[in-house]
Protein backbone atom coordinates (compact mmCIF):
# COMPACT_ATOMS: atom_id res chain seq x y z
CA UNK A 1 0.00 0.00 0.00
CA UNK A 2 1.42 3.42 -0.95
CA UNK A 3 1.89 6.49 1.20
CA UNK A 4 -1.24 7.96 -0.39
CA UNK A 5 -3.62 5.10 0.34
CA UNK A 6 -2.42 3.76 3.67
CA UNK A 7 -5.15 3.32 6.26
CA UNK A 8 -4.62 5.63 9.22
CA UNK A 9 -6.43 6.04 12.49
CA UNK A 10 -7.19 9.70 13.12
CA UNK A 11 -6.35 10.87 16.63
CA UNK A 12 -4.19 7.81 17.44
CA UNK A 13 -0.85 9.62 17.64
CA UNK A 14 -2.36 12.55 19.49
CA UNK A 15 -3.99 10.22 22.00
CA UNK A 16 -0.63 8.61 22.65
CA UNK A 17 1.11 11.97 23.02
CA UNK A 18 -1.49 13.37 25.39
CA UNK A 19 -1.84 10.09 27.27
CA UNK A 20 -5.58 10.62 27.43
CA UNK A 21 -8.41 12.54 25.82
CA UNK A 22 -7.55 15.41 23.49
CA UNK A 23 -9.41 18.25 25.17
CA UNK A 24 -9.38 21.93 24.36
CA UNK A 25 -7.50 22.60 27.59
CA UNK A 26 -4.87 19.94 26.84
CA UNK A 27 -4.37 21.29 23.33
CA UNK A 28 -4.04 24.85 24.59
CA UNK A 29 -1.43 23.84 27.16
CA UNK A 30 0.50 21.86 24.57
CA UNK A 31 0.38 24.40 21.74
CA UNK A 32 1.00 27.45 23.88
CA UNK A 33 3.91 25.62 25.48
CA UNK A 34 5.72 25.36 22.13
CA UNK A 35 8.70 27.77 22.11
CA UNK A 36 8.16 31.02 20.24
CA UNK A 37 9.66 31.55 16.80
CA UNK A 38 12.79 33.67 16.45
CA UNK A 39 11.47 35.71 13.53
CA UNK A 40 14.78 37.37 12.72
CA UNK A 41 16.62 34.04 12.77
CA UNK A 42 13.96 32.35 10.65
CA UNK A 43 14.03 35.05 7.99
CA UNK A 44 17.83 35.04 7.95
CA UNK A 45 17.88 31.26 7.44
CA UNK A 46 15.33 31.55 4.64
CA UNK A 47 17.29 34.37 2.99
CA UNK A 48 20.48 32.34 3.18
CA UNK A 49 18.85 29.29 1.62
CA UNK A 50 17.27 31.48 -1.05
CA UNK A 51 20.66 32.71 -2.25
CA UNK A 52 22.16 29.28 -2.77
CA UNK A 53 22.68 28.35 -6.39
CA UNK A 54 22.72 24.97 -8.05
CA UNK A 55 25.17 23.70 -10.63
CA UNK A 56 24.19 23.98 -14.27
CA UNK A 57 24.40 20.19 -14.50
CA UNK A 58 21.80 19.94 -11.73
CA UNK A 59 19.38 22.45 -13.24
CA UNK A 60 17.76 19.97 -15.62
CA UNK A 61 17.14 17.63 -12.68
CA UNK A 62 15.73 20.51 -10.66
CA UNK A 63 13.35 21.59 -13.43
CA UNK A 64 12.09 18.04 -13.95
CA UNK A 65 11.65 17.60 -10.20
CA UNK A 66 9.60 20.79 -9.97
CA UNK A 67 7.25 19.50 -12.68
CA UNK A 68 6.84 16.18 -10.89
CA UNK A 69 5.87 18.03 -7.69
CA UNK A 70 3.26 20.38 -9.17
CA UNK A 71 -0.44 20.29 -8.34
CA UNK A 72 -1.64 21.88 -11.60
CA UNK A 73 -4.52 24.00 -10.42
CA UNK A 74 -7.63 25.79 -11.58
CA UNK A 75 -9.86 27.19 -8.84
CA UNK A 76 -11.98 29.87 -10.43
CA UNK A 77 -15.69 30.54 -10.26
CA UNK A 78 -15.73 30.44 -14.06
CA UNK A 79 -14.25 26.93 -14.28
CA UNK A 80 -16.01 24.64 -16.74
CA UNK A 81 -15.72 20.96 -17.68
CA UNK A 82 -13.92 22.07 -20.82
CA UNK A 83 -11.34 24.05 -18.89
CA UNK A 84 -10.74 21.09 -16.60
CA UNK A 85 -10.26 18.79 -19.60
CA UNK A 86 -7.70 21.25 -21.02
CA UNK A 87 -5.92 21.30 -17.66
CA UNK A 88 -5.81 17.50 -17.60
CA UNK A 89 -4.48 17.39 -21.16
CA UNK A 90 -1.63 19.67 -20.12
CA UNK A 91 -1.01 17.57 -16.99
CA UNK A 92 -0.66 14.44 -19.12
CA UNK A 93 1.45 16.09 -21.84
CA UNK A 94 3.06 19.26 -20.49
CA UNK A 95 5.21 19.72 -23.61
CA UNK A 96 4.04 18.01 -26.77
CA UNK A 97 7.35 18.80 -28.49
CA UNK A 98 9.37 16.95 -25.86
CA UNK A 99 8.12 13.51 -24.81
CA UNK A 100 10.81 13.32 -22.11
CA UNK A 101 8.99 15.99 -20.10
CA UNK A 102 7.69 14.45 -16.87
CA UNK A 103 4.06 14.65 -15.82
CA UNK A 104 2.77 16.65 -12.89
CA UNK A 105 1.78 15.06 -9.58
CA UNK A 106 -1.88 16.04 -9.60
CA UNK A 107 -4.58 18.29 -10.93
CA UNK A 108 -6.40 20.35 -8.30
CA UNK A 109 -10.00 21.41 -8.90
CA UNK A 110 -13.24 22.21 -7.14
CA UNK A 111 -15.20 19.20 -5.92
CA UNK A 112 -17.90 19.40 -8.59
CA UNK A 113 -15.18 19.25 -11.27
CA UNK A 114 -13.70 15.98 -9.95
CA UNK A 115 -15.77 13.67 -12.20
CA UNK A 116 -14.61 15.56 -15.30
CA UNK A 117 -10.96 15.37 -14.19
CA UNK A 118 -11.23 11.65 -13.47
CA UNK A 119 -12.88 11.00 -16.82
CA UNK A 120 -10.34 13.08 -18.75
CA UNK A 121 -7.39 11.35 -17.07
CA UNK A 122 -8.66 7.89 -17.95
CA UNK A 123 -5.83 5.37 -17.61
CA UNK A 124 -3.49 8.14 -16.45
CA UNK A 125 -5.47 8.51 -13.21
CA UNK A 126 -3.37 7.13 -10.38
CA UNK A 127 -6.37 6.25 -8.21
CA UNK A 128 -4.23 6.86 -5.16
CA UNK A 129 -1.32 4.67 -6.23
CA UNK A 130 1.13 7.51 -7.09
CA UNK A 131 1.79 5.67 -10.37
CA UNK A 132 -0.04 8.27 -12.44
CA UNK A 133 -1.68 11.63 -11.90
CA UNK A 134 -3.78 12.20 -8.80
CA UNK A 135 -6.97 14.24 -8.61
CA UNK A 136 -7.01 16.71 -5.72
CA UNK A 137 -10.18 18.52 -4.71
CA UNK A 138 -10.55 21.55 -2.48
CA UNK A 139 -13.28 21.11 0.07
CA UNK A 140 -14.75 22.32 3.40
CA UNK A 141 -16.17 25.55 1.94
CA UNK A 142 -12.88 26.54 0.32
CA UNK A 143 -11.46 29.18 0.50
CA UNK A 144 -13.17 30.80 3.50
CA UNK A 145 -14.10 27.69 5.49
CA UNK A 146 -17.26 29.46 6.56
CA UNK A 147 -19.86 26.71 6.65
CA UNK A 148 -21.35 24.25 9.10
CA UNK A 149 -19.43 21.10 9.87
CA UNK A 150 -22.16 19.04 8.21
CA UNK A 151 -21.69 20.96 4.96
CA UNK A 152 -17.90 20.58 5.16
CA UNK A 153 -18.14 16.83 5.69
CA UNK A 154 -20.65 16.40 2.88
CA UNK A 155 -18.40 18.46 0.60
CA UNK A 156 -15.47 16.19 1.41
CA UNK A 157 -17.31 12.88 1.17
CA UNK A 158 -18.84 13.84 -2.17
CA UNK A 159 -15.42 14.64 -3.66
CA UNK A 160 -13.95 11.37 -2.40
CA UNK A 161 -16.91 9.39 -3.74
CA UNK A 162 -16.45 11.12 -7.11
CA UNK A 163 -12.86 9.85 -7.30
CA UNK A 164 -10.70 12.46 -5.59
CA UNK A 165 -7.43 10.98 -4.37
CA UNK A 166 -6.58 14.01 -2.26
CA UNK A 167 -8.59 16.55 -0.29
CA UNK A 168 -7.32 20.07 0.35
CA UNK A 169 -9.30 21.35 3.34
CA UNK A 170 -9.19 24.75 5.04
CA UNK A 171 -9.06 25.23 8.78
CA UNK A 172 -11.44 27.58 10.58
CA UNK A 173 -9.08 30.50 11.03
CA UNK A 174 -11.59 32.40 13.14
CA UNK A 175 -11.80 29.55 15.63
CA UNK A 176 -8.02 29.13 15.67
CA UNK A 177 -7.31 32.81 16.26
CA UNK A 178 -9.90 32.85 19.03
CA UNK A 179 -8.00 30.05 20.75
CA UNK A 180 -10.66 27.39 20.12
CA UNK A 181 -8.01 24.81 19.26
CA UNK A 182 -10.23 21.88 20.19
CA UNK A 183 -12.83 22.91 17.62
CA UNK A 184 -10.21 23.14 14.87
CA UNK A 185 -8.72 19.80 15.91
CA UNK A 186 -12.11 18.06 15.93
CA UNK A 187 -12.99 19.44 12.49
CA UNK A 188 -9.76 18.12 10.98
CA UNK A 189 -10.36 14.72 12.59
CA UNK A 190 -13.92 14.65 11.23
CA UNK A 191 -12.82 15.68 7.74
CA UNK A 192 -10.13 12.98 7.83
CA UNK A 193 -12.81 10.43 8.60
CA UNK A 194 -14.88 11.78 5.71
CA UNK A 195 -11.88 10.97 3.48
CA UNK A 196 -12.39 7.28 4.24
CA UNK A 197 -13.22 5.12 1.24
CA UNK A 198 -15.44 2.05 1.20
CA UNK A 199 -12.36 -0.21 1.24
CA UNK A 200 -11.07 1.39 4.44
CA UNK A 201 -8.29 3.45 2.85
CA UNK A 202 -8.20 7.22 3.03
CA UNK A 203 -7.83 9.98 0.47
CA UNK A 204 -4.75 12.01 1.29
CA UNK A 205 -5.65 15.03 3.46
CA UNK A 206 -3.87 18.35 2.98
CA UNK A 207 -4.68 20.89 5.69
CA UNK A 208 -4.58 24.51 4.49
CA UNK A 209 -3.53 26.90 7.25
CA UNK A 210 -4.03 30.13 5.26
CA UNK A 211 -0.88 31.52 6.79
CA UNK A 212 -1.57 35.01 5.44
CA UNK A 213 -4.42 35.28 7.94
CA UNK A 214 -2.61 33.78 10.94
CA UNK A 215 -0.65 37.01 11.52
CA UNK A 216 2.40 35.59 13.36
CA UNK A 217 5.03 32.90 12.91
CA UNK A 218 4.06 31.55 16.34
CA UNK A 219 0.52 30.96 15.07
CA UNK A 220 1.84 29.24 11.94
CA UNK A 221 3.92 26.91 14.09
CA UNK A 222 0.99 26.12 16.41
CA UNK A 223 -1.41 25.57 13.50
CA UNK A 224 1.12 23.23 11.85
CA UNK A 225 1.43 21.12 14.99
CA UNK A 226 -2.33 21.11 15.51
CA UNK A 227 -2.99 19.96 11.94
CA UNK A 228 -0.48 17.13 12.19
CA UNK A 229 -1.79 16.01 15.59
CA UNK A 230 -5.31 15.84 14.16
CA UNK A 231 -4.30 13.54 11.30
CA UNK A 232 -3.30 15.74 8.37
CA UNK A 233 -1.07 14.03 5.82
CA UNK A 234 0.14 17.39 4.49
CA UNK A 235 0.26 20.90 5.84
CA UNK A 236 -0.35 23.53 3.17
CA UNK A 237 0.41 27.24 3.38
CA UNK A 238 -2.44 28.88 1.55
CA UNK A 239 -5.53 28.83 -0.61
CA UNK A 240 -3.89 31.18 -3.10
CA UNK A 241 -6.81 33.56 -2.57
CA UNK A 242 -5.24 35.57 0.27
CA UNK A 243 -2.11 37.72 0.23
CA UNK A 244 0.53 36.93 1.30
CA UNK A 245 0.32 33.34 0.13
CA UNK A 246 3.37 31.05 0.21
CA UNK A 247 6.61 32.65 1.38
CA UNK A 248 9.97 31.02 1.88
CA UNK A 249 10.22 31.83 5.63
CA UNK A 250 6.75 30.41 6.33
CA UNK A 251 7.47 27.28 4.29
CA UNK A 252 10.80 26.85 6.08
CA UNK A 253 9.00 27.12 9.42
CA UNK A 254 6.49 24.45 8.39
CA UNK A 255 9.30 22.20 7.16
CA UNK A 256 11.02 22.56 10.53
CA UNK A 257 7.80 21.42 12.25
CA UNK A 258 7.65 18.41 9.91
CA UNK A 259 11.31 17.65 10.65
CA UNK A 260 10.70 17.81 14.39
CA UNK A 261 7.59 15.62 14.08
CA UNK A 262 9.58 13.02 12.16
CA UNK A 263 12.30 13.02 14.80
CA UNK A 264 9.67 12.61 17.51
CA UNK A 265 7.48 9.92 15.91
CA UNK A 266 9.21 8.55 12.80
CA UNK A 267 6.23 9.68 10.67
CA UNK A 268 6.76 11.71 7.50
CA UNK A 269 4.31 14.54 6.86
CA UNK A 270 4.12 16.44 3.59
CA UNK A 271 4.33 20.18 2.96
CA UNK A 272 2.67 22.16 0.18
CA UNK A 273 3.45 25.83 -0.46
CA UNK A 274 0.71 27.28 -2.65
CA UNK A 275 0.13 30.63 -4.27
CA UNK A 276 2.65 33.13 -5.58
CA UNK A 277 5.33 30.69 -6.78
CA UNK A 278 5.42 31.56 -10.47
CA UNK A 279 9.00 31.08 -11.69
CA UNK A 280 11.43 28.20 -11.79
CA UNK A 281 13.98 30.43 -10.05
CA UNK A 282 11.67 30.80 -7.06
CA UNK A 283 10.71 27.11 -7.09
CA UNK A 284 14.37 26.06 -7.01
CA UNK A 285 14.76 28.06 -3.78
CA UNK A 286 12.05 25.87 -2.28
CA UNK A 287 13.78 22.69 -3.48
CA UNK A 288 17.00 23.80 -1.78
CA UNK A 289 15.09 24.67 1.40
CA UNK A 290 13.42 21.25 1.47
CA UNK A 291 16.69 19.39 0.89
CA UNK A 292 18.56 21.36 3.54
CA UNK A 293 15.80 21.19 6.16
CA UNK A 294 14.22 17.73 5.95
CA UNK A 295 16.40 16.02 3.35
CA UNK A 296 16.11 15.03 -0.29
CA UNK A 297 13.80 12.15 0.65
CA UNK A 298 11.05 14.78 0.87
CA UNK A 299 11.43 15.71 -2.79
CA UNK A 300 8.77 13.19 -3.77
CA UNK A 301 5.12 13.82 -4.67
CA UNK A 302 3.76 12.14 -1.53
CA UNK A 303 5.83 14.48 0.67
CA UNK A 304 6.14 17.80 -1.16
CA UNK A 305 4.01 19.70 -3.66
CA UNK A 306 3.81 23.07 -5.32
CA UNK A 307 0.30 24.46 -5.61
CA UNK A 308 0.52 26.42 -8.84
CA UNK A 309 -1.16 27.38 -12.07
CA UNK A 310 1.44 29.45 -13.96
CA UNK A 311 4.66 27.88 -12.61
CA UNK A 312 4.59 25.01 -15.12
CA UNK A 313 4.79 27.37 -18.10
CA UNK A 314 7.94 29.03 -16.82
CA UNK A 315 9.59 25.68 -16.09
CA UNK A 316 8.79 24.47 -19.61
CA UNK A 317 10.36 27.59 -21.10
CA UNK A 318 13.48 27.07 -19.00
CA UNK A 319 13.72 23.42 -20.08
CA UNK A 320 13.40 24.43 -23.71
CA UNK A 321 16.16 27.03 -23.33
CA UNK A 322 18.49 24.39 -21.89
CA UNK A 323 17.83 22.21 -24.93
CA UNK A 324 18.02 24.82 -27.71
CA UNK A 325 20.00 27.63 -26.12
CA UNK A 326 17.26 30.21 -26.58
CA UNK A 327 13.81 31.02 -25.29
CA UNK A 328 10.76 30.18 -27.35
CA UNK A 329 8.07 32.64 -28.29
CA UNK A 330 4.94 33.26 -26.24
CA UNK A 331 3.03 30.62 -28.20
CA UNK A 332 5.37 27.83 -27.03
CA UNK A 333 3.25 27.10 -23.97
CA UNK A 334 -0.50 27.10 -23.47
CA UNK A 335 -2.13 29.90 -21.47
CA UNK A 336 -3.77 27.62 -18.89
User: Which string of b and e fits 202-238 if b means at least 16 CB within 10 Å?
Assistant: bbbbbbbbbbbbbeebbbbbbbbbbbbbbbbbbbbbb
DSSP 211: G
CA distances from 102 to 56, 81, 99, 318 (A): 19, 24, 8, 14
Q: Which of 192, 206, 268, 272 is catalytic?
A: 272
Q: Which of 192, 236, 268, 285 is catalytic?
A: 236
Cis amide linkage into residue 143, ω under 30° from 0: yes
Q: Which of 168, 186, 233, 282 is catalytic?
A: 168
170 touches 144 (CB < 8 A): yes
| Gap between the Cα atoms of 230 and 237, Å rounded | 17
Does residue 168 have an active-site annotation? yes
Backbone torsions φ then ψ of 283, nearest 5 degrees: -65, -35
| Gap between the Cα atoms of 120 and 124, Å rounded | 9
CA distances from 100 to 63, 87, 120, 149, 314 (A): 12, 19, 21, 45, 17
Give the chain's end-to-end CA distance (angstroms, integer): 34
Does residue 314 have an active-site annotation? no
**Stretch (H or E) spanning 189:** helix 181-194
| Gap between the Cα atoms of 296 and 128, Å rounded | 22
- The set of catalytic residues is 168, 236, 272
Amino acid sequence: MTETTKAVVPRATALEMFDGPVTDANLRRYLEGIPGVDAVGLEQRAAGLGTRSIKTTSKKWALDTIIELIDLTTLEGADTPGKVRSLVAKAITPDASDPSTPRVAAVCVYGDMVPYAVQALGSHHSRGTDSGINVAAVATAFPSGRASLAVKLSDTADAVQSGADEIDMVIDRGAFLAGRYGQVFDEIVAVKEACRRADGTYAHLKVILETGELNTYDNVRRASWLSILAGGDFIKTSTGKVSPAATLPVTLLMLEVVRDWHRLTGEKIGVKPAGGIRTSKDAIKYLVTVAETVGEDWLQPHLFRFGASSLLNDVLLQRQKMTTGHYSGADYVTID
